[in-house]
Structure 1
Amino acid sequence: MAKINNLKGGFKIVKVEGPVIFAVSDSIGETAELVAKAATVQFNSGHVEIRRYPYVTEEEDVVEVVEEAKKYKNSAIVCTMVLPEIRKKLLELAEANNIPILDIMGPMMDIVSRITNIKPKLEPGLVRRVDEDYFEKIEAIEFAVKYDDGKDPRGLAKADVVLIGVSRTSKTPLSMYLAHKRLKVANLPLVPEVSPPEELFQLDPKNVVGLTIQPEILYKIRQERLKALGLSSDATYASMERILKELEYADEIMKKIGCHRIDVSNKAVEEVAARILEIIRRGEDR
């Protein structure tokens, strides 16, 4: 609190002792605050208060910060301003009022610009957006693992897209690839002996993609899979009769749902994923 002295019948506000550091930014101000905290913990000279002032994007915001800092006898400003005009105004006002100020972002951007020969974007909040993208990607990957291969039908309603198809139609690789695009993907194998969960038929068909494949190609893939596992190629799993039965069953389920279909025969994961993304975008534009 400010000290108030009686002066000839009136009152005069005396500067507060402080010390206070104002962490100022045209974004959320987290970096400025962390730098201030990292510095102050190195001193045992008493408590230093740190106040964060985020989203300072207008000149009147700058004036407000400086006016607040002027109330304190011992105050300083540390800033991470991206917007050059606002940063310049803050520096000028702080210096004009003898308030110590540390500009973190300006000199750092100058150095990066010099060594890369690239001009900065000058967009506040880009670090936060990058962080948000990263955590969305991790969340999507964890989702794909949790709801892979029909492990939990409750995930179908939570997914951005659901992939269905017989075994060896690249459902899992596609789920992981799309997760890196920040899409939550659940996948479900279609097997004649196992009825699909009711949750599948309650989904909006535009959010379901059926993966189909040519029988001859699936036959070769399954034969190779058995060899890799050290199993006999005579197993029912890789017989043409079994494959045709599974594909016919999958076709019936896809028709019942009325979902999109993609033939994955001889197609790379990236190619199929691009088609799925296109289907999703079309659905969102409706």
Structure 2
Amino acid sequence: MVQREVVYVISDSVGETAEFVVKAVATQFNGGQVEIRRSSYVDDFEDIEDVIALAKKGNSIVAYTLVIPSLKEYLDQRANEEGILAVDLLSPLMNAFVTKFNKEPNHRPGLMRKLDEEYFRKIEAIEFAVKYDDGRDPRGIKMADIVITGVSRTSKTPLSMYLAHQGFRVANVPLVPEVPPPDELYEVPRKNCIGLVISPDKLNGIRIERLKALGLASRANYASFERILEELEYAEKIMKRVGCPVIDVSNKAVEETAGLILDVLKKERSK
């Protein structure tokens, strides 16, 4: 009777990385017909002994991703004593990092999972920013971590996306004299809302360039000084009513403004 080929995967985290590597290797041998048994969140010697007891009974390999030095050393010792082939999937590359980049590892399990969680939180924030961009759905205002409001062409959308890439759920609300802002804007806590203002000259130049890009006449009302002054005056009244902090974005890059937004709101939340 042919013994079943088994690979025991041991990890002090989930073990997905080790299992993925084992599967990738196994596909090179008869279509990958090998049984994989995963032991996740191994954090003491008893867990290792359980796997050792099973592995020594059959035709087995132990593949592991242990970053806690004491667990790795114990597994290496016990595998050697029992004549079990144990393969360390992380140390060769970690040692290369230490040698080439002169850095020391954290030796903390679960960091990859943490990175994955940050990634998915970022994706959720980006989807949120797209859904609640430009006041499309006022329901997002109450769910947002940050609410940005201001007149057209004050970089509300680029700021929303930039902050979303840092994991913040951002909704932005345009202020237009002919369209009353949603009631939800007046219900946002001061610590979650920021108003954007800009100099009339700067806004005039931005809007003229925008009209040119759209193939429209630069003399359109959208870019006229009278219209711009009207909008800025209206926006100022709304922001005062909301009671939110205000940032002048006239000569600031998106990255700089985003940093200021986070600083201002941090101070508001610490009050």
Q: TM-score, normalised by structure 1?
A: 0.84
Q: Which of 3, 6, 11 is the aligned partner of 1:25?
A: 11
Q: Relative to structure 2, which stretch is displaced further, 230-239 or 89-98?
A: 230-239
Cα deviation, 1:29-84, whole Å, max 9, x if unaligned, reads: 111112223334444599643221122233343334323434x3333311011122
Q: Is the 8 A contact 2:190 2:268 kept in 1?
A: no
Q: Which of 193, 212, 216 is the aligned partner of 1:227?
A: 212
Q: Which of 73, 86, 107 is the aligned partner of 2:92?
A: 107
2:120 maps to 1:135:
yes
2:177 maps to 1:198:
no
The one-letter code matched in structure 2 to 1:265 is S
Partner residue, 2:22: 36
Q: Distance in 1 between matches of 2:251 and 2:30?
A: 68
Q: Relative to structure 2, which stretch is displaced further, 74-83 or 39-48?
A: 39-48
Q: Which of 38, 41, 50 is the aligned partner of 1:52?
A: 38
Q: Distance in 1 between matches of 2:232 and 2:124?
A: 32
Identity of aligned residues (%): 55
Alignment partner of 2:115: what SS? helix
Q: CA RMSD in A?
A: 2.3
Alignment partner of 1:181: what SS? coil
Per the TM alignment, residue 264 of structure 1 is displaced from its structure 2 partner at its CA by: 1.0
Greater helix percent: which structure?
2
Alignment partner of 1:157: what SS? helix
Partner residue, 1:254: 239
Count of aligned pairs between the two proteins? 269
Q: Which of 47, 59, 62 is the aligned partner of 1:61?
A: 47
Cα distance change, pair 96–167 in 1 and its aligned pair in 2 (3 A): same
Q: Is the 8 A contact 2:149 2:173 kept in 1?
A: yes
The one-letter code matched in structure 2 to 1:22 is Y
Cα distance change, pair 45–223 in 1 and its aligned pair in 2 (3 A): closer
Mapping 1:120-269, distance limit 5 Å: 120-269=105-254
> Which consecutive unaligned segments of at least 5 residues does structure 1 have?
1-16
Q: TM-score, normalised by structure 2?
A: 0.89
Q: Distance in 2 between matches of 1:111 and 1:66?
A: 28
Cα distance change, pair 227–46 in 1 and its aligned pair in 2 (3 A): closer
Alignment partner of 2:62: what SS? strand
Cα deviation, 1:156-208, whole Å, max 9, x if unaligned, reads: 22221111000111111111211221111111110011111222222222111
